[in-house]
Amino acid sequence: MTSAAGAAPPAIELIGIDKSFGPVRANRNVNLSIERGVIHGIVGENGAGKSTLMSILYGFYEADAGEIRINGEPVRIRSSREAISHGIGMVFQHFMLVPPLTVLENVMLGAEGGSLLASGASAIRKKLADLGREYGLEVDPGAIVGELSVGLQQRVEILKALVRGAEILVLDEPTAVLTPAEADQLFEMLRVLKSQHKTIVFITHKLREIMTLTDRVSVMRRGEIVATFDTAETSPPELADAMVGRKVILKIDKGPAHPGKVVLEARNLVVRDDRDVVRVDGVSFVLREGEILGVAGVAGNGQSELLEALAGIRPLSGGEILLGGEPMPAAEHNPHAERLIGIGHVPEDRHRMGLVMPFEACESAMLGFQYEPVYGKGVLLSRQAIIADADKKMEAFDVRPRAPLLKTANFSGGNQQKLVLAREIERNPKIMLVGQPTRGVDIGAIEFIHKRIVAQRDAGKAVLLVSVELDEIFALSDRIIVLCAGRITGERRADETNAQDLGLLMAGIDEKAA
User: Which residues make up the interface to other proteins (CB under 8 A)?
Assistant: 20-25, 60-62, 79-80, 311, 313, 334-337, 339, 345, 347, 352-359, 363, 366-368, 370-371, 375-376, 379-381, 383
Q: Please say which residue, 146 or 315, places its beta carbon nearer to other proteins.
A: 315
CB of 223 to other proteins, least distance (A): 10
CA distance 138 to 153: 12
Task: Give the shortest CB-79-to-other proteins separation in angstroms.
Answer: 8
Cα-based distances in Å from 469 to 94, 251, 476, 480? 19, 14, 11, 13
Nearer to other proteins by Cβ, of 2 and 370: the residue is 370
Nearer to other proteins, 209 or 308 (CB): 308
Q: How far is the CB of 23 from other proteins (least distance, A)?
A: 6
Burial 330-367 (b: 16+ CB within 10 A, else e): eebbeeeebbeeebbbbbbebeebbbeeeebbbbbbbb
Single out the residue of 346, 292, 295 nearest to residue 470, CA to CA. Answer: 295
Give me the helices (H) in 402-442, please: 413-425
Minimum Å gap between C-beta 147 and other proteins is 25
In angstroms, give the least distance from the CB of 271 to other proteins.
15
Q: Which is nearer to other proteins, 64 or 471 (CB)?
A: 64
Q: How far is the CB of 380 from other proteins (least distance, A)?
A: 6
For the chain, the first-to-last Cα distance in angstroms comes to 66
**Cβ atoms 257, 291 nearer than 8 A:** yes
Q: Which residues are registered as beta bridge partners of 502?
A: none
CB 490 within 8 A of CB 481: yes
Provide the minimum distance between the beta carbon of 351 and other proteins in the complex, in angstroms, as a whole number: 9
Cβ proximity to other proteins, 288 vs 423, nearer residue: 423
Order of all β-strands in the sheet with 73-75? 24-34, 12-21, 65-70, 73-75
3 state SS of 387: helix
Nearer to other proteins, 211 or 337 (CB): 337
For residues 415 and 399, the answer to whether their CB atoms sit within 8 Å is: yes
CA 267 to chain centre: 31
CA distance 498 to 492: 10
CB of 444 to other proteins, least distance (A): 20
